[in-house]
Amino acid sequence: MAIIKRKKTSASNKRAAMPNGATYKETGKKVLRYLKNYKALFSLSLILAIVIVALTLYVPVLVGEAIDLAIGKGNVDFDGIYKILLKIGIVAGATALLQWLMNVCNNRITFGIVRRLRRDAFNKIQELPLSYVDSHPVGDTVSRVISDADQFSDGLLMGFSQLFTGVLTILGTIAFMVSINISITLVVILVTPLSLFVAAFIAKNTHSLFAKQSKTRAEQTALIDEMIGEQKVVAAFSHEDEALAQFDEINERLAKCSLKAVFYSSLTNPCTRFVNNLVYAGVALVGALICVSGGGDFITGLPLTVGSLTSLLSYANQYTKPFNEISGVITELQNAIVCAARVFELIDAEPQIPEAENAYDLQDTEVDGRVHIENVEFSYTPDRELIKDFNLSIENGQRVAIVGPTGCGKTTVINLLMRFYDVNSGKIEVSGHDIRDLTRSSLRRSYGMVLQETWLKSGTIRENIAMGKPDATDEEIKAAAKEAHAHSFIRQLPKGYDTVIGEDGGALSQGQKQLLCIARVLLCLPPMLILDEATSSIDTRTEMKIQDAFAKMMKGRTSFVVAHRLSTIKEADVILVMNNGKIIEKGNHAKLLKADGFYAKLWNSQFEN
Amino acid sequence: MKLVFKYLKKYKLEYVMAPLFKLLEACFDLFVPIVVKMIMDVGIKNNDRSYILSGCLVLVALGVIGLTCTIIAQYFAAKAAVGTSTGLRHDLFGHIQGLSYSNSDKLGRSSLITRMTSDINQVQSGVNMALRLFLRSPIIVFGAMIMAFVIDKSNRVAPIFAIVIPALAVVVFSIILAGIPLYKRVQSRLDKVTSLTRQNLSGVRVIRAFNKEESEMEAFSEANHEHTSVQNFVGKITALMNPMTYVIINLGIIAVVYFSSTEINSGNMSQGDLFAMYNYMSQILVELVKLANTIVLITKATACAHRIESVLETPTGMKVEKSTTENKTDNSVAVEFKNVALNYSGEGENTLENISFTVKRGETVGIIGGTGSGKTSLVNMIPRFYDASEGDVLVFGKNVKEYELEELRESVSVVPQKAVLFKGTIRSNLLWGNENANDDDLNYALEVAQAADFVAEKDGKLDAEVSQFGRNFSGGQRQRLTIARAIVKNAPILIFDDSASALDFATEARLRQALKGLKNDPTVFIISQRTSSISHADKIIVLDDGAMVGIGKHEELLSTCSVYKEIYDSQFKGGEE
């Protein structure tokens, strides 16, 4: 949440830039696509706005008329006044009701659009290619789905309805004023734009101040992230004083530019209000003079009453308000469109290659454990070639060990096997079928996977273990947990299998999380296995016990193991040695030792010392 | 709130002047309808053009004075608000840095960061708005009523104000107060939507491996729907505000006109008086809405201030105890644990129990044991990151609680499990260990840490840029740089907390060799999962579930300690048969 909040405040301070390649027009079209579903509500809202503006503007006229009926001592038309008062009552009641209706309407549209946007964005996430997910920071995508969607719908609808009623109010006021008196109308129309200039002038000059403020703020946040996020290191090196000094330096700069930004931007309101006062004084002056002259209006010659002057004065107040708000509304609208473009960038991102229509749904019984890799070429980016000319035939029940230094790209092989990424050329066959001809779900169903980063979803322990088999019975779940040696610690949790764990495993230790991931696979036990440093954070004794389970599990099953343990490596049928993202050696233990290459060096290094 | 005042106090001039000038501005605002009334009742009635002209000039003058007052007020408010947040930020940052580990663990580091950033920003704008509007709005509201009583000599019309104002206040505040908890509900629903989104991105591989896309979409759709329906419900309530206040104010206007017309008929009031009354009525509405919004903002800011306060109230640091023994240090024994137990939360089972051992100066100690067996907890007590709940930890013969923290930590150098660097250059990172180190010292440390090779290949070498958290280096490189950083410190005690895990066997072996040759011959603690990393140690401590189950040399342990043997076998059975 923190990130999102921060994002929101910084976005409101600066005018965000449009994401790559998006234009206002294009984005606008996409926005209409979503608005289409609310055509009826939207039209209703517009009609209501027109009626409300008209009614609201009518009230001052009525009050003016009433005042004109109460001229002085003994000169009051009570009947007339009561009739007018009744009218005011009806108009006010109707306005209130319609206003509420319009608000509810607008809410429905706004919230509905956000909901659709989020749904579409989320569904898109499910079919994005992994390359997209891997290359975009999680926080960025989350903020698109959450805060950008919010800002877009809020900004767009509020901005639009404000703009719409604003323009209507301006036009309506002019019409009402003209109907009362033209000279005064001219005064108002001529002086008011001044406030627009003032507002624009201030906005232009504060923009750079805000930009500087958010830049300094970002700099400070980065420092806070580091120094507080890694407090332990800071303390271990007694670095607190230096950190504080560094912090204060930025803090001082921030104070200076914040003061400027806050102060100058807070001038907009008083300044436009001052212009307002000028308009007001002008109307009072001209109006009073017309009343006095008795000759009536300077242009039309029509007389003016005190009541009409009252109406005009309250119009003078209302008329300038939308002008003052317009510059803000336009910024808000622009910002909304930028946010929309960011959401649409996600929604319209290229999805993964769709499955062929006649994609084959491989049945569990058909999986015979054969994997055939032929002339595979693959790289994440075209400018850095990784896997080339990769050939491998694996028979049922064979074990493939992938070894190499950290960061050598062992997960690449897994990405290809699971079809998280597609090969650039060549093919991978499972049980005689090119995996691109299979449905993704049937391919992935035939592998059981335990990854290096242990990921659990928020929910109960039970739900997590039963992920691959939601209809598993309690006995089955417990049996799997026991086999993974997770049962004993689960039993000690406050609610056992029904303990709810938070996002990313919450309070569980890394090792416990890994045990759950193993139990998760043990429960559904697919025909082939992918184990990625599966035991890296489990202590070696537990690991040994798990190895038994693994051995049982791997027996008769084709398995791919990113291996650190020597026994796994040694017993593997094929060892793939990787370095710098490439497969540099391939063969069994004996053969590779004999070759005396990279693997031999790796192997021997552990016995040094 | 108290907290904010503490910082605001330093800006006495500002926090007095800002509302004061706002108040002046409000008063001038209140004069406007009176002036217009005079123009109507005197100027128009008597056909006095010069009176009208001067009346309008007074209006302009009121505007100019009002503008001046506001600008002054805005300046003081901005200065007080920014000053308050700057001071608060400084103190909070310092305070957080001084928190003991167990306290900052409890508060959560990401939550601390939020408090430092967005919470303080909220407080700043809360203070700013409060100074600007908190006096102005009530003054206008009550001022309008007072003016009404001044104008209405019969006192038959003005009491309407006394009815309308409370009625409006009740409506405005009850809707806002009802809204606050409802918004919290909306927020918690949104949190769920956010969490689902985040999970689906971070767990994308697992979700796809288990073919859970469909069910995740369903779960999301449900959460999304729940959020929207709560939003719509809250929306219906808050949408009542404008219409209801509008109705009340218009009822007020109707009443004012109704009663005024009688008064005018009997000669107690003029048309201008009626105009002024009508105007005051309208002003009240505008100001009450502003006041309500300010209150929402202030409520939010107060909540944020409370969150900040709770951090500031958490005591910092660790008490340095008076030396019970004489201030002597024993140079031959580097570290001694005497019946030490550790319990993080003060309840439940102990993380470590009954740990006793002695380490001589210059010895290398290996610590091995399963996950959660308490290896890191044990070494964390040496630089006093955590305090032992029972027993004593002695460093060079002196209880760690009797050291000045800085002095103690100067003599212990830690390479943490998680390898992090800080934004800057390689040099600036290494200098964390020792500000006064020269290039030779740094290069020597890099050499020992097996980092010299890749640093030499970097553009700028020692001055190569390091991005936030050191993200522009690979895990292995980061780890070696953190080792170098610790070596630069040249401390007599060196702790490696499983910090060679990202290194391959060959590099680790070379590192071990280089450590042996360190100039200052430090006492070294090595935590590892691999027996191969510690088998050469002078002393190996075997931990199992918080208890020390063995201590001794590799060969001894193999024959005496079953846990150790099991660990060893699990790693070497496959390799050496």
Q: Do B93 and B195 sit in the same domain of this protein?
A: no
Chain B residues whose CB is inside 8 A of the A313 CB are 36, 275, 279
Q: Is A281–B571 a contact, with Cβ atoms under 8 angstroms apart?
A: no
Is A364-605 the same fold as A21-180+328-350?
Answer: no
What part of A 363-422 touches B (C-beta under 8 Å)?
Answer: 405-407, 418, 420
With CA atoms as reference, report the closest residue to A152 among A27, A244, A66, A272.
Answer: A27
Interface test with A, best of B197, B218, B487, B508 (most A CBs within 10 A): B197
Cβ count near A475 (within 10 Å): 8
Q: Do B185 and B109 sit in the same domain of this protein?
A: no
Query: What does the pLDDT read at residue A7?
Result: 34
Smallest CA–CA distance, residue A149 to chain B, in Å, is 12
Chain A residues whose CB is inside 8 A of the B128 CB are 262, 266
Angle between helices A268-293 and A182-191 (to 10 degrees): 160
Query: What does the pLDDT read at residue A15?
Result: 42
**A133 touches B: beta carbon within 8 Å:** yes
Q: Is B206–A252 a contact, with Cβ atoms under 8 angstroms apart?
A: no
Which amino acid makes up residue B185? R
Q: Tell me the count of A-B CB pairs closer than 8 A.
A: 461
With beta carbons less than 8 A apart as the criterion, state whether B195 and A501 touch: no
Q: Is B254–A88 a contact, with Cβ atoms under 8 angstroms apart?
A: yes
| Residue that wins the pLDDT comparison between B392 and A235 | B392
With beta carbons less than 8 A apart as the criterion, state whether B259 and B249 touch: no
Cβ count near B281 (within 10 Å): 23
DSSP A539-608: -HHHHHHHHHHHHHHHTTSEEEEE--SHHHHHH-SEEEEEETTEEEEEE-HHHHHHHTSHHHHHHHHTT-
Q: Is residue B558 part of a domain?
A: no
Which of B40, B191, B232 lies nearest to residue A1, judging by beta carbons? Answer: B191
Query: What does the pLDDT read at residue B324?
Result: 62
Half-sphere exposure in the Cβ direction for B237 (13 Å, CA):
18
Q: Is B251–A89 a contact, with Cβ atoms under 8 angstroms apart?
A: yes
Chain A residues whose CB is inside 8 A of the B246 CB are 92, 95-96, 99
CATH number of the domain residue B50 falls in: 1.20.1560.10
Domain of residue B430 covers: 417-490
Average pLDDT over residues B214-223: 89
Q: Is residue B15 part of a domain?
A: yes
Q: How far is the C-alpha of A253 from the C-alpha of A249, rounded, in Å?
A: 7
**Residues sharing a CB contact under 8 Å with residue B323, sequence separation 6 or more, in sequence order:** B398, B399, B402
Query: What does the pLDDT read at residue B501?
Result: 67
Interface test with B, best of A263, A272, A317, A493 (most B CBs within 10 A): A263
Q: What is the pLDDT of residues B22-41, one digit of tens each?
A: 888 888 888 888 898 888 88
As a three-state string, the secondary structure of B111-172 is HHHHHHHHHHHHHHHHHHHHHHHCCHHHHHHHHHHHHHHHHCCCCCCCHHHHHHHHHHHHHH
**B217 touches A: beta carbon within 8 Å:** yes
Q: Is A252–B86 a contact, with Cβ atoms under 8 angstroms apart?
A: yes
Which amino acid makes up residue B245? T
CATH of A21-180+328-350, one of 1.20.1560.10, 3.30.420.40, 3.40.605.10, 1.20.1250.20: 1.20.1560.10
Q: Is B93–A418 a contact, with Cβ atoms under 8 angstroms apart?
A: no
Q: Is residue B363 part of a domain?
A: no
Taking chain A (609 residues) in runs of 10, the rounded mean pLDDT of each run is 33 50 79 87 91 91 88 84 93 93 89 90 88 80 84 79 85 87 85 79 81 84 80 78 88 90 84 86 88 69 79 82 73 82 87 81 82 87 79 87 73 86 89 87 85 78 86 88 84 82 67 82 86 60 68 82 75 84 84 85 63
Q: Is B274–A70 a contact, with Cβ atoms under 8 angstroms apart?
A: yes
Helix (H/G/I), strand (E/B), else coil: B379: helix
Query: What does the pLDDT read at residue A353?
Result: 81
Q: How far is the C-alpha of A135 from the C-alpha of B243, rounded, in Å?
A: 49
What part of B 146-185 touches A (C-beta under 8 Å)?
Answer: none
Which pairing describes strands B364-369 and B352-360: parallel, antiparallel, or unpaired?
Answer: unpaired
Average pLDDT over residues B251-275: 89
The dihedral sign for the CA sequence A463, A465, A470, A475? negative
The dihedral sign for the CA sequence A3, A4, A6, A7? positive
Start-to-end CA span in chain B (Å): 71
With beta carbons less than 8 A apart as the criterion, state whether B102 and B319 touch: no
Chain B residues whose CB is inside 8 A of the A210 CB are none
**A90 touches B: beta carbon within 8 Å:** no
Q: How far is the C-alpha of A435 from the C-alpha of A422, rounded, in Å?
A: 10
Q: Is B409–A541 a contact, with Cβ atoms under 8 angstroms apart?
A: no
Q: Do B206 and B255 sit in the same domain of this protein?
A: yes
As a three-state string, the secondary structure of A46-80 is HHHHHHHHHHHHHHHHHHHHHHHHEEECCEECHHH
Distances (CA, A) of A518 to A458, A521, B38, B179: 17, 5, 87, 46
Q: Do B192 and B227 sit in the same domain of this protein?
A: yes
Smallest CA–CA distance, residue B330 to chain A, in Å, is 23
Cβ count near B125 (within 10 Å): 18
Q: Which residue has the tokens 């029972």?
A: B390
Q: Is A85–B49 a contact, with Cβ atoms under 8 angstroms apart?
A: no
What part of A 430-469 touches B (C-beta under 8 Å)?
Answer: 440-441, 444-445, 447, 449, 451, 455-458, 467-468
Rg (CA), chain A: 36
**A580 touches B: beta carbon within 8 Å:** no
CATH of A364-605, one of 3.40.50.300, 3.40.640.10, 2.40.100.20, 3.30.565.10: 3.40.50.300
Assign B254 a pLDDT band (cuts: 50, 70, 90). very high
Smallest CA–CA distance, residue A405 to chain B, in Å, is 6
Q: Is residue B407 part of a domain?
A: no
The pTM of this model reads 0.71
Q: Is B265–A503 a contact, with Cβ atoms under 8 angstroms apart?
A: no
Average pLDDT over residues B402-415: 83
CATH number of the domain residue B426 falls in: 3.40.50.300
Q: Is A609–B509 a contact, with Cβ atoms under 8 angstroms apart?
A: yes
**Dihedral through CA B545, CA B546, CA B552, CA B558, nearest 10?**
0
Q: Do B43 and B126 sit in the same domain of this protein?
A: yes
Q: Do B105 and B195 sit in the same domain of this protein?
A: no
**B499 touches A: beta carbon within 8 Å:** no
Query: What does the pLDDT read at residue A452?
Result: 67
Angle between helices B241-265 and B159-202 (to 10 degrees): 170
Q: Do B301 and B213 sit in the same domain of this protein?
A: no
DSSP B476-511: HHHHHHHHHHHHHTT-SEEEEESTTTTS-HHHHHHH
Q: Is residue B568 part of a domain?
A: no
pLDDT at B335 over 80: yes
The domain locations on chain A are: 21-180+328-350, 364-605
Which of A227, A237, A307 lies nearest to residue B433, judging by beta carbons? Answer: A237
Q: Is residue B72 part of a domain?
A: yes
Which of B200, B212, B227 lies nearest to residue A467, judging by beta carbons? Answer: B212
Domain count within chain B? 3
Query: What does the pLDDT read at residue A588?
Result: 86
DSSP B279-308: HHHHHHHHHHHHHHHHHHHHHHHHHHHHHH
| Residue that wins the pLDDT comparison between B171 and A12 | B171
Interface test with A, best of B96, B111, B117 (most A CBs within 10 A): B117
DSSP A11-47: HHHS-PPPPTT--HHHHHHHHHHHHGGGHHHHHHHHH
Q: Do B175 and B243 sit in the same domain of this protein?
A: yes
**B344 touches A: beta carbon within 8 Å:** no
Which of A142, A232, A243 lies nearest to residue B198, judging by beta carbons? Answer: A142
Average pLDDT over residues B463-468: 82
With beta carbons less than 8 A apart as the criterion, state whether B189 and B195 touch: no
Half-sphere exposure in the Cβ direction for A117 (13 Å, CA):
33
DSSP B412-461: EEEE-SS----SEEHHHHHTTT-TT--HHHHHHHHHHTT-HHHHHHSTTG
Distances (CA, A) of A143 to A225, B109, B114: 18, 21, 16
Q: Is residue B129 part of a domain?
A: yes
Q: Is A549 exposed, middle or buried (0-12, 13-18, 19+ CB in 10 A)?
A: middle
**B206 touches A: beta carbon within 8 Å:** yes
- Give the lowest-confidence range in A351-355, B204-208, B502-506: B502-506
Which pairing describes strands A574-579 and A399-403: parallel, antiparallel, or unpaired?
Answer: parallel
Chain B residues whose CB is inside 8 A of the A81 CB are 257-258, 261
